[in-house]
Amino acid sequence: MQLGIIGLPQSGKTTLFNALTRGDIPTGISGGKVEVHTAVIDVPDKRIDRLTEIFQPKKVVHAKVTYADIAGLEGKSSEKGISGPLLNTLSQMDGFIHVVRAFTNPSVPHSAGGVDPHRDLSTMETDLILNDLILVERKLQRLEEERQRGGIGRDKAVVQRETELFEKLRALLSDEIPLRNESFNEEEEKMLSSYGLLSRKPQLIVINQSEEQNPIDVEMPFANTQVICIPAKLEMDIAQLPANEAKIFLQEYGIEEPSLDRFVRLSYDLLGLISFFTAGEKEVHAWTVSQGATAQGAAGTIHSDMEKGFIRAEVVSYEDLVSLGGFAEARQHGKLRLEGKKYIVQNGDVLTIRFNI
Cα–Cα nearest to 350, from 97, 55, 150:
55
Higher-pLDDT residue of 258, 200: 200
Q: Locate the domains of the chain by residue range.
A: 292-355
What pairs with residue 99 in β-bridges? 206
Cα–Cα nearest to 287, from 202, 201, 345:
345
For the stretch 217-231, pLDDT in tens is: 776 656 678 888 888
Fold of 292-355: Ubiquitin-like (UB roll) (3.10.20)
Is residue 151 predicted with pLDDT exceeding 80?
no
- Residues 313 and 336: their CA atoms lie apart, in Å, by 10
For the stretch 30-80, pLDDT in tens is: 555 678 899 998 888 999 999 999 999 999 999 998 999 998 677 665 556
For the stretch 101-125, pLDDT in tens is: 988 888 887 877 788 888 888 888 8
pLDDT of residue 170: 96
pLDDT of residue 268: 84
Cα–Cα nearest to 263, from 221, 226, 293, 292:
226
pLDDT of residue 240: 83
- Residues 61 and 45: their CA atoms lie apart, in Å, by 11
Task: Identify the H or E element spanning 100.
Answer: strand 95-101
- Residues 87 and 59: their CA atoms lie apart, in Å, by 39
In order of 96, 116, 127, 178, 179, the CA distances from 222 in angstroms are 14, 20, 16, 8, 9
Largest CA distance in the chain: 73
What value does the mean pLDDT take over residues 123-150? 89
pLDDT of residue 282: 95
